[in-house]
Amino acid sequence: MCLNKSLEEKQMEALKRLVRDTDSAIIVEGIKDKKVLSSLGFKNIYSISGKSAEDVVKLIISDKPKSVSILTDFDGEGREYFKKLVKFFQPHDIKVDDFLRRKIKSITAIQKIEELAFFIKKLDGSAQFTFP
């Protein structure tokens, strides 16, 4: 194993681990966000696009996940959605796990979740990316 991995290799490995290790329901803002995360291999993704936050929360609660990751954008609007959704989940005994959100933010330089596709394309130099 090479001890001198580039930053890009480390970032790609960290993203692959996130895909492999994430088992919580994931909430995103838009359809593009959902498509990008699905293409990376993430499962149980819910988009709030065109729906009220309350309706999305009800749907997720009915699926009875152990935890939920709120992966809204890192801009002001996304942070407000994050806070609002956390408040909706509090009375329902579903853990809001912010590890995925914090980790993606620390690994990447993106502001919007849909930008993950471009970030990964830049890392691996190809238009196609697949995660196991």
- Quote the tokens at residue 61: 């609660």
Residue 131 is assigned to a structural domain of this protein: no
C-alpha to C-alpha distance for 57 and 48, rounded to whole angstroms: 9
pLDDT at 5 over 80: no
Residue 99 is assigned to a structural domain of this protein: yes
Residue 34 is assigned to a structural domain of this protein: yes
Q: How many alpha carbons fall within 13 Å on the CB side of residue 65?
A: 24
- The residue segments making up the domain with residue 69 are 9-122
Residue 66 is assigned to a structural domain of this protein: yes
Residues 2-9 have a mean pLDDT of: 66
pLDDT above 90 covers what percent of the chain? 51
Q: Could you give the 3-state DSSP secondary structure of residue 44?
A: coil
Q: Could you give the 3-state DSSP secondary structure of residue 68?
A: strand
CATH number at residue 112: 3.40.1360.10
Cα 84 to the chain's mean position, in Å? 17
Residue 60 is assigned to a structural domain of this protein: yes
pLDDT at 25 over 50: yes
C-alpha to C-alpha distance for 115 and 51, rounded to whole angstroms: 22
Lowest mean pLDDT: which of 12-16, 19-23, 55-59, 64-68?
12-16
Q: Which residues of 72-103 are buried (b: 16+ CB within 10 A; e: fewer)?
A: bbbeeebeebbeebeebbeeeebebbeebbeb
Mean pLDDT of the chain: 86
Residue 64 is assigned to a structural domain of this protein: yes
What phi, psi does 40 have (nearest 5°)? -85, -15
How high is the pLDDT of residue 14?
84
How high is the pLDDT of residue 125?
64
Q: Could you give the 3-state DSSP secondary structure of residue 27?
A: strand
Q: What is the largest CA-CA distance in the chain?
A: 48
pLDDT at 104 over 60: yes
Instruction: Classify residue 57 as exposed, middle or buried by CB count within 10 Å of its CB (0-12, 13-18, 19+).
Output: buried
What is the domain count for the chain? 1
Residues 27-44 have a mean pLDDT of: 92
pLDDT at 7 over 80: no
pLDDT at 4 over 70: no
Residue 127 is assigned to a structural domain of this protein: no
The model's pLDDT over 47-75, given as tens digits with 9 standing for 90+, comes to: 999 998 889 889 999 998 989 999 999 99
